[in-house]
Amino acid sequence: MTQPNGPVPRPGILDIAPYVGGEHQGHIRLASNEGALGPSPRAIEAYQAAAATLHRYPDGGSAALRGTIAKRFNLDADRIVCGAGSDELISLLIRSYAGPGDEVLYSQHGFLMYPIGAKSVGATPVVAPEDGLTASVDSLLAHVTPRTRLVFLANPNNPTGTYLPASEVARLHAGLPANAILVIDAAYAEYMNHEDYTAGEELVEQFPNVVMTRTFSKIFALGSLRIGWAYAPAGIADVLNRVRGPFNVSTAAHVAGVAALEDAEFLERSRSHNATWREWFATEVRALGLTIHPSVTNFILIDFKGQKPGKDDAEAARQFLKAAGILVRQMPAYGLPSCLRVTIGTEAEMRTVVDTLKAFLAA
């Protein structure tokens, strides 16, 4: 790779392909798994009220937010660490526990920030093949070596929409060495209603090498405020608090996050809306002859493979949708070039997507 003029970064930095988020210049934005109903009215009101104190530094310990999270999920507030999105916490974990010569393990179609974070510190990202677009415990354990420092499991997983039951996550942890940290990325946990699923908090409370990360960017619809949190053993929480920025969560994020957590009615309405229109959308798209991968999240993965020539191209479908003002997410970076990921939006948005896909297939 050609080196730039001037100072040269550490080895490996220029090998990183920058993360590219979903597009946002469109009338219907379904590329980034944002909450369909927007944020809670209470969160908006709290955010607006914070405007008068913008000259003050935020609470560096996020005490009110941590306390509200602890109350909402019945957790120990002292083990909660807040960050600028769960992305920051993932990066801090990698920075704190991995480096040159170490390995960071994740499943085949896992979140792109796992390998990016590994490369940024000189560690080696290791990919474990999945089974039917679902993380495989046996495959992950088969790829563990003495150099494995962190194992990332997105559960539920983005972009496949699949999940592992609590028993399988426990089996994964049981097979790891004591010096490897299992990081359960539960960004979509609030959408789950399966009895065999947990977000992983019980493992955090039992073992010193399990961390659960969560976000306010999905069902709470506060993506622009960048709020995430980790639930960690005391030792790991202490490490994260040593390396994070002293004011890494803004006051606006604090107050909006607290208000969103306290609005249980809006949360339930968002969850119910998602379940209804995810099922409707999946049924309608299957009726068009397209393949739908089952999802427990707020998005659907559509596979165009097997369509008649000219209609088997996911990128052609994406561009057709984009020309109609509809933004969805392309999947080549995740190793799924024949697929598009579509966020569940409002009723009107989902009906428009189905009509536009129908027009694409008929064109």
Q: List pLDDT tens digits, range 305-346.
A: 877 777 679 999 999 999 999 999 999 999 999 999 999 999
164-198 b/e with 16+ CB inside 10 Å = b? bebebbbebbebbeeebbbbbbbbbbbbbeeeebb
The model scores a pTM over 0.85? yes
Say how far apart CA 349 and CA 26 lie, in whole Å: 12
How many angstroms separate the CA atoms of 323 and 304, rounded? Answer: 18
Whether residue 26 contacts residue 327, with contact meaning beta carbons closer than 8 Å, is answered with yes
Give the position of tokens 């003495």. Answer: 146
Q: What is the pLDDT of residues 191-203, one digit of tens each?
A: 999 999 999 999 9
Q: How confident is the model at residue 21 (pLDDT cuts 50, 70, 90)?
A: low
- Tell me what percent of the residues of the chain surpass a pLDDT of 70: 96
The C-alpha atoms of residue 180 and residue 103 are separated, in whole angstroms, by: 10
For residues 206 and 202, what is the distance between their CA atoms, to the nearest angstrom?
6
Q: Say what the pLDDT of residue 11 is.
A: 78
| Residue (of 153, 167, 183) closest to 93 by Cα position | 183
If phi > 0 it is left, if psi is from -120 to 50 it is alpha, else beta; for residue 35 that is: beta
What is the DSSP secondary structure assignment for residue 134, as one 8-state letter? B
Q: Report which secondary-structure segment, H or E, holds 330.
A: strand 329-330
